[in-house]
């Protein structure tokens, strides 16, 4: 149990109910902190991680967290108020044991205020790797977006859109777009297309299926749409790309 320390802090009632609901949906521990390092909000997973109530967490400063490197990184990033950051750290449990964690720092704006939002994901105790590592390296390995990319991986060959992904995650499309863009630098639609094009390239290189067949197998309803997106991502047509791969193999 964390010890409460006196602090003049902003209370969680300043956070909109919408933001609270979104953070509560995360399986990983998520916090909101002000620019002084005081906690404004902690979701249920964060309370479980620290074995403390939200009231107890709100009475401490970031320097009191049982993380080895977080305080130093926090101080070093004070001037970079809008750049997402991802790093690994060690978390000291109340039992004295240490576990590896991955921390993703993003920045949230709620009403007229901006907050830092560290999201803490526990890594596999044996390998030190992300427990939710994606099978496909094409998609980002971002712990708190694992559900998003798992849904894309399982459904990209169907005609899915941003709306389908957001609905499956319980988010509104605009929020999910903003969250994914801030964490990966790209949109949800970009990652759907990138995953489809990756499979298309594999099928073009390793099979003799027609472009129309490949378009249907990779989630496109018509060859023309597939042709345009393939050219945008690969700089050439599907047939020209296939031919270039065959020439490369022969040479």
Considering the chain, tell me which residue range(s) the CATH 3.30.450.20 domain(s) occupy: 12-122
Instruction: Specify the domain boundaries for CATH 1.10.10.60 within the chain.
Output: 132-251
Q: What are the Cα distances from residue 191, in Å, to 143, 152, 187, 195, 227?
A: 16, 8, 7, 6, 17
With a threshold of 0.75, does the pTM exceed it? no
Specify the pLDDT at position 34.
Answer: 83
pLDDT at 41: 87
pLDDT tens-digit series, residues 179-232: 888 888 889 999 999 999 999 998 998 899 999 999 999 999 889 999 999 998
- Residue 159 near residue 124, CB atoms below 8 Å: no
Residues of the chain predicted below pLDDT 70: 1-14, 76-84, 94, 109-112, 123-137, 247-251
Give the pLDDT of residue 247: 63
Length of the chain: 251
CATH number of the structural domain 12-122: 3.30.450.20
What is the structure's pLDDT at 248? 54
Residue 130's pLDDT is 42
What's the CATH fold of domain 132-251? Arc Repressor Mutant, subunit A (1.10.10)
């Amino acid at each position: 149990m964390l010890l409460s320390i006196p602090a003049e802090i902003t209370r969680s009632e300043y956070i909109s109910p919408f933001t609270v609901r979104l953070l509560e949906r995360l399986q990983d521990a998520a916090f909101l902190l002000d620019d002084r390092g005081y906690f404004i909000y902690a979701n249920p997973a964060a309370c479980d991680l620290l074995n403390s109530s939200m009231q107890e967490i709100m009475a401490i400063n970031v320097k009191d967290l049982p993380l080895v490197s977080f305080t130093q990184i926090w101080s070093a990033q004070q001037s970079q108020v809008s750049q997402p950051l991802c790093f690994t750290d060690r978390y000291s449990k109340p039992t004295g044991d240490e576990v590896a964690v991955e921390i993703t720092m993003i920045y949230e704006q709620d009403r007229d205020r901006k907050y830092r939002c560290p999201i803490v994901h526990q890594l596999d105790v044996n390998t030190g790797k992300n427990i939710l590592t994606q099978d496909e390296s094409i998609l980002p390995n971002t712990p708190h977006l694992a559900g998003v990319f798992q849904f894309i991986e399982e459904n990209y060959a169907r005609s899915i859109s941003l709306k389908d992904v957001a609905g499956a995650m319980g988010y509104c499309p605009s929020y999910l777009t903003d969250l994914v863009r801030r964490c990966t630098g790209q949109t949800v639609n970009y990652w759907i297309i990138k995953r489809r094009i990756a499979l298309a390239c594999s099928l073009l290189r390793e099979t003799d299926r027609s472009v129309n067949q490949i378009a249907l197998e990779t989630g496109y309803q018509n060859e023309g749409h597939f042709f345009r997106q393939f050219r945008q991502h690969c700089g050439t047509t599907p047939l020209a790309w296939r031919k270039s791969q065959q020439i490369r193999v022969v040479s």
